[in-house]
Structure 1
Amino acid sequence: MLHAFNKGGDAQITAVVDAITRTKPDVIALQGLDYDLSGATLAALGAALAQAGHDLPYVFAARPNSGWRTGLDHDGDGYADGPRDAQGFGWYSGQGGMAVLSRYPLGEVQDFSDYLWKDLPGALLPHVDGAPFPSKQVQEVQRLSSVGHWLVPVLIGDTVVNVLTFHSGPPVFDGPEDRNGKRNHDEIRFWQLLLDGALPFQAPAAPFVIAGDANLDPDRSDGLRAAIRDMLADPRLQDPRPSSAQAGLNTVDWPNGPGQLRVDYVLPSADLRILDAGVDWPAQPEAGSRHRLVWVDIALP
């Protein structure tokens, strides 16, 4: 089994543990989990899971781009010390990071999070009146990843399953330059370019699974929806269309905003056999996250 679960916030650990133990994943990609240098947050979560009877002893986390200050004005408001003036939105370094937990050993992780947005082939860099937005200086150092892009090998017997996990920034909260919308588009497109061999990294071998938060619904999001539509239609991937009886294909509920949308994905490579898939959407709302756990059961080739 391979599951992806997006967790927004880090205070309601009981609800998060309940969701994980209810679905019993073998591998889980988490988003929205604060990163700290000593690994205390991830260790506390692992201990709580083990105490609840679902031990995931192999873990990986790295410093996210969220909250990583550069000393520059990244949002064009004339100031350089706000949460939007970081490589990814964040009030402090490590806010809303990512982690992978597994029953199986992990191989050497490739962390693409320092890849510069300007270096992406066909990058949709924002401009205003023909000038780089917010400045050429910022675009020279701006990383593509709002939080991170990782390739995490999971060693299952003699098979290596490469988990490609990420957390795109939301395509809103910007101005007419559409900086966030364009960045979200390119964060999603990164994976297809990696598979194409168009980036300065080795393309991942199958089997692999893309698992994470794209922050984009293919039909209803206020963003450049072609990015997620192209990914879902890629013949190298399968979309098992996980769903729940309560909310269909939706994976998140923003009750005071756009409502229910599908923004979290688990997309196995075409060589994997899908046994089942779903979205864990409890009848009663939980405090763990606005996002729900998305899961896919797979059989190795």
Structure 2
Amino acid sequence: MASTATLVLAASALVAAPAAAAESPSVPGPPGPHQVRFATFNTALERPEQGALAAELATPDSEQARNVAEIIQHVRPDVLLVNEFDHDEEGEGARLFQDNYLSVGQNDAEAIDYPYVYTAPVNTGVPSGTDLDGDGRAVTEPGTPGYAEDAFGYGAFPGQYGMVVYSMYPIVTERVRTFQTFRWADMPDALLPTDPATGAPYYSDEALEVLRLSSKSHWDIPVDTGRGRPIHLLASHPTPPAFDGPERRNVLRNHDEIRFWADYVTPRAGSYIYDDEGRRGGLPVGAPFVVAGDLNADPDDGTSHPGAIARLLEHPGITDPRPASQGGRGAAQRQGGANEGHAGDPGLDSADFTDEPGPGNLRVDYVLPSRIVPVRGSGVFWPTVDDSLFRLTGDYPFPSSDHRLVWVDLLRP
């Protein structure tokens, strides 16, 4: 059974955004009355060795962490999912990022303090004990070539590429559900990969017996926004649909990791689902929710399975606010390459990927609320080149991350 850890920081009053956070069109004004700002941000704060991130954050000297923190301070989300943030069992890295970066005003931004923080184990870097990459051997010793490929989720050590949730509002800890150990083979009609040359299953029976669906984890985190029913933050970070072979195992896994949430929020469709405590079923009917995270799938471009993200974007119970930025449009035009052949609106892009060769810039980061939660605003923090805050995102090599923070303002239910 997977363990979980919730960190509660020193309580502080909920604060509104400063009157003049920055003279930049990329900085949104504060949410309106009875509104809450949800955001997701793949911060690229993963490190190649276990403990390295916490050691780096123990001082206020990390330039990347300062830039990431300043972005958060400008946008000031009330509930923030952070992807690619190495997990440690004590939650030290998450606490240090709060104490040494978020709680310290960066440049002209005002410090931001989150009283509630949630983090839990993920599958990246956890040894599976079986051969998952098809090279004929099961590597279980960290540091050995092939270890990351045979872990439940690609990672050099347990917790690499983890997740953290920061919140201004109380997290209903006793109702949190995690799905770290849910097996891929237990999803009905799962898109399990096959060898295209023979049609035989790609994974052995031994591998399928243990292989988990989540490359990191799936979390259902109820957040009490003070208006009655909590909003369920449905957080995940599916595997990139790349770095595989003709069997397309990562493409198919990405599809099913996304499908998991579509089934979870659809009445009766999630009856097969079980969480890490053994409780079965999906989200209760009528419960407000927000699906958030780096889902690694673009609806029009890139290498994801056709229709993968459409399971959410076209779901009858979900709203797509279509957060956008002028910076994304400018980047696609400026960088060219693969972007020139894209079918999607570059203003919706949320990640700045390699242009030649490569997929180009894509929309892969999402904040998707249930239809019963009205949307009041949205955006992607991607400053244009003439914006004073372009220094925080820039072009490669990026001063913060190759992803952009995506935010949506919701009327609290």
TM-score relative to the length of structure 1: 0.96
Return 241-250 or 133-142, whichever deviates more. Answer: 133-142
Secondary structure at the aligned position of 1:227 is classed as coil
Secondary structure at the aligned position of 1:209 is classed as strand
User: Which residue does the alignment assign to 2:180?
Assistant: 113
User: Which residue does the alignment assign to 1:290?
Assistant: 402
User: Which residue does the alignment assign to 1:134?
Assistant: 203
User: Which residue does the alignment assign to 2:354?
Assistant: 255
Secondary structure at the aligned position of 1:32 is classed as strand
Q: What is the root-mean-square deviation in Å for CA atoms of aligned residues?
A: 1.4
Secondary structure at the aligned position of 1:212 is classed as strand
Identity %: 44
Match of 1:154 among 220, 223, 227: 223
User: Which residue does the alignment assign to 2:248?
Assistant: 178
- Residue correspondence of structure 1 range 152-301 to structure 2 within 5 A: 152-157=221-226, 158-196=228-266, 197=268, 198=270, 199-200=272-273, 201-205=280-284, 206-247=287-328, 248-256=347-355, 257-283=358-384, 284=390, 285=394, 286-301=398-413
Q: Does the Cα contact within 8 Å between 1:31 and 1:212 map onto a contact in 2? A: yes
Shift of 1:6: 1.6
Q: Does the Cα contact within 8 Å between 1:216 and 1:225 map onto a contact in 2? A: no
Shift of 1:9: 2.7
- Is residue 131 of structure 2 the alignment partner of residue 73 of structure 1? yes
Shift of 1:80: 2.6
User: Which residue does the alignment assign to 2:33?
Assistant: none
Larger radius of gyration: 2
Return 211-220 or 122-131, whichever deviates more. Answer: 122-131
Structure 2 unaligned residues grouped into runs of 5+: 1-36, 47-61, 106-110, 140-145, 274-279, 329-346, 385-389
Secondary structure at the aligned position of 1:193 is classed as helix
User: Which residue does the alignment assign to 2:98?
Assistant: 46
Paired amino acid for 2:190: A
1:225, 1:50 → 2: CA distance? 42
Shift of 1:282: 2.8
Q: Does the Cα contact within 8 Å between 2:40 and 2:80 map onto a contact in 1? A: yes
2:354, 2:382 → 1: CA distance? 15
Paired amino acid for 1:42: A
Paired amino acid for 2:125: G
Shift of 1:224: 0.7
1:290, 1:106 → 2: CA distance? 29
- Is residue 62 of structure 2 the alignment partner of residue 17 of structure 1? no
Secondary structure at the aligned position of 1:151 is classed as strand
Q: From the two aligned structures, give the one with the greater strand fraction.
A: 1
Question: Which whole-Å deviations, capped at 9, do the CAs of 1:180-211 have from their partners, x for residues lacking one?
Answer: 11100000000111122333333324211000
Q: Does the Cα contact within 8 Å between 2:292 and 2:368 map onto a contact in 1? A: yes
Shift of 1:16: 1.0
2:306, 2:352 → 1: CA distance? 19
User: Which residue does the alignment assign to 1:28?
Assistant: 80
2:180, 2:189 → 1: CA distance? 18
2:246, 2:298 → 1: CA distance? 21
Shift of 1:230: 2.3
1:136, 1:221 → 2: CA distance? 31
| Moved segments of 4+, more than 3 Å | none
User: Which residue does the alignment assign to 2:114?
Assistant: 56
User: Which residue does the alignment assign to 1:102?
Assistant: 167
Paired amino acid for 2:157: Y
1:70, 1:179 → 2: CA distance? 16
Q: Does the Cα contact within 8 Å between 2:225 and 2:412 map onto a contact in 1? A: no
1:225, 1:105 → 2: CA distance? 38
2:367, 2:218 → 1: CA distance? 15
Secondary structure at the aligned position of 2:98 is classed as helix
Question: Which whole-Å deviations, capped at 9, do the CAs of 1:115-151 have from their partners, x for residues lacking one?
Answer: 0000011101112223321311111100000111000
Paired amino acid for 2:152: Q
Question: Which whole-Å deviations, capped at 9, do the CAs of 1:56-105 have from their partners, x for residues lacking one?
Answer: 12011111100011222111022333211100000111100011110011
> What is the aligned residue count?
301
Q: Does the Cα contact within 8 Å between 1:217 and 1:225 map onto a contact in 2? A: no
